[in-house]
Structure 1
Amino acid sequence: MPLTRDDAEQLLEQLYATAEVLGSEIKPAAATLMIRDLRNYERAEVEQALARCRAEINGRLTLAAILERVPSANAYLSANEAWALALASMDEAETVVWTEEIAKALGVASPILTEGDKVGARMAFIAAYEREVEQAKAKGSQPSWKPSLGHDPQRREMALQEAAEAGKLPAPRVEALLPPPEKPVTEEGRAQVREITNHLRDLIAGRDQEAARRREEQRQKQEARRQELVAQAEQRMRERNNATQRRA
């Protein structure tokens, strides 16, 4: 939740005190600007960042030093981390969970990468990504993580579960993107499977028997026809023999 007016006043006092502990001073106008630039962060985060500044640095207190120690101000991936994720997304089997800034930067680098210039593509990506992140931070935006689903179901499940554990995606969203868990097979279910299997086996056996019966009928018909032809041939032979004997 952004800072309230009371939060801002309390943090302003802590800002002056932290600068004094570090042996420096902050003018009221500069301190007010620093609080204004910190207005989109949680008060507890800013207080923790100031405490770390008092313990870790010496000399002048700067806004950059404070922001380096605000966790949500550093929620974006580094340019090299984002580049590795962008490269993984080029594999159609891979599922990645990334931000709009990474997707836009990859759009800039993709034509160069397609030409085979990986070094040039990386340089173009990093420049584009850092520009997108700076613009987002200037607006006080936080990373908005979105899944890009690959076709490998095992990799998809692993990537989505890792994103849920890291707090990048809400659990209900992950559940909606994954197939429902398999239900355990009950004894009733096994009985149904056996019944269906037996029915199919009977059908197949019945068809086999019917086919065998038809083949036997066909064989018998062919044999009867053969016997008929043989008898006809023998009859003609006898008739020719009788005719020959009469002429003799």
Structure 2
Amino acid sequence: MTKYWINGALADQVYINDRGLSYGDGLFETIAVIDGKPHLFDQHLDRLQMGLDRLKFPEGTIDAVKNDIQALNFSGNQTLKLTVTRGIGERGYKLPATCVPTRIISLADSSDFAKQRDQGVSVMLCQQRLGINPVLAGIKHLNRLEQVLARAEWSDLDIAEGIVSDLDGNLVEGTMSNLFWARGGILYTPKIDRSGVQGVMRDRLIQLANQLSVEVFEGSYPESVLESAEEVFICNSLIGIWPVITIDGEPLSVGPITRDLQLLLSKEMSC
């Protein structure tokens, strides 16, 4: 069962002229609640604030979101989603003279991804490319049409995720995850400076890799680098770490860096 709050009150409808609906003018965060506590909560709010600043939302928006969240009662394992839109506006792209953001919160039961974490998943390389836009890179804005089109490329239930590259052919991320691979004891991940979402879990795993004395390189890499990868995994705040065991049908082993990071993350999330 999912509950919804809009601007702090239980509700499940928004105005038809909300700019989030009309133009995708807004942002969202999806947070894992573990044993009644939102995981990496401050980091999610930091990314939300980064997006609010980029999109020129009014000051104080994040404070209103925090007040909404403080009124909630978390229990067990849940999925918390925060959505902030520019609010009601007239027809046209011009920003409203007075902006009153719409704050939408949903709270639902969480899914169990233990099997995927343990056994690994199969992924494919998508044909859909991500546009290059440094202004929007990193933030989790509401326009997800590129991801929608990429996800439409497969219906095979054995495929868990699709990997997408940018218009220059450089790897970026999964449709709903960030991407890492290892070779020679070094961990690599695409730099999120022109496309994609700078995942909160992605950033945390870079920190955990440093604790393991594993060097992490961020950069621009073509899809071909995955052919020589010794281990590959995808991640996000809800799924944690999923080892990749096939890419376009080509088999991969679940490697030690992946398992060591899973162990560290598991300990952190159970505290």
Which TM-score band applies after superposition, normalised by the shorter structure? under 0.3
Normalising by structure 2, report the TM-score. Answer: 0.20
Higher helix fraction (1 or 2): 1
Normalising by structure 1, report the TM-score. Answer: 0.22
Higher relative contact order (CA 8 A, sep 6+): 2
Higher strand fraction (1 or 2): 2
